[in-house]
Structure 1
Amino acid sequence: METEATTIDRKEFFRLVGVSFGAIVLQQCLSGCNTGASPDPNPTTPTDFSVNVNNGTFTALRNAGGFVRTNGVIIARTQQGGFIAVSQACTHEGTAVNYIVSNNTFLCPNHGSVFSSEGEVQTGPATKPLTRYKTSYDPSTGDIRIYP
């Protein structure tokens, strides 16, 4: 069985390459204009839960500077021994923030946004604050309650 080779001339070749290249560029331009809603990194759903510092998952909270992330919230123990809790997702692009005990702030490792212990933006690119939650601690049981 013989197969015939198909050839195209130079003009046709460049026309096909141009159309293909144009389609790729157009696809990239259109994907950059996506208006689809992205998940809100700062949900407004009320949060009310408890963690226990005696539970192996939360033992980092026994020490000043320790922090944990759970239920979309970062809970940190300050140098003074108190607890603070804010939403864990940076409001810029949703990256999980870290607690910096030396200056009592939250830092986004992705683009460097800094938030105060109250969740307020100190350094961008984030422009919206983190949600701040109230905390209460019962030292007799080791329970920390996080609530709106």
Structure 2
Amino acid sequence: MGEGLPLIEAFCIRAAAVMHVLHSPEGLMMERLVDWCDQEFGNGEMNYRQAMYVDALTNITEELEEVSREQDLTIADPELAARFWLEGLLGHARLETSTQTVDVEANEKWARAYSEFFFAGLRHSGAISAPSSPLSD
């Protein structure tokens, strides 16, 4: 999703898609299934939710690294950036689902604001840089 788009745009599209999936009936059922699997089959060392988190973190880190190469950016710590990105999305999804009503338009606006805020934070901290990048000040 968002392939070939500037970094912020691509991640904005992905954030909105993640919110949609997590709030869908299928996403809510998946949450229950993961809880049940962890309870029934977890061995205390690694559970399903933890494995899903590690997989998502790996994928996002690789995506950030790939996009930064394609767009001639430098991200100081892609794994940490991926972790902040993922945990922000999951935290927002958790809080939004507690309201029992999901506003798709509001989530899309949130995804845009989150993407802009996230990458502005990376840029401001010096964690992202590129001489010719629109992300540079």
Interval of TM-score (by shorter of Structure 1 and Structure 2):
under 0.3
**Which has a greater percent of helix?**
2
Q: Work out which structure has the larger RCO, using CA pairs closer than 8 Å and 6 or more positions apart in sequence.
A: 2
Q: TM-score, normalised by structure 1?
A: 0.25
Q: TM-score, normalised by structure 2?
A: 0.26
**Which has a greater percent of strand?**
1
> Which one has a bigger Cα radius of gyration?
1
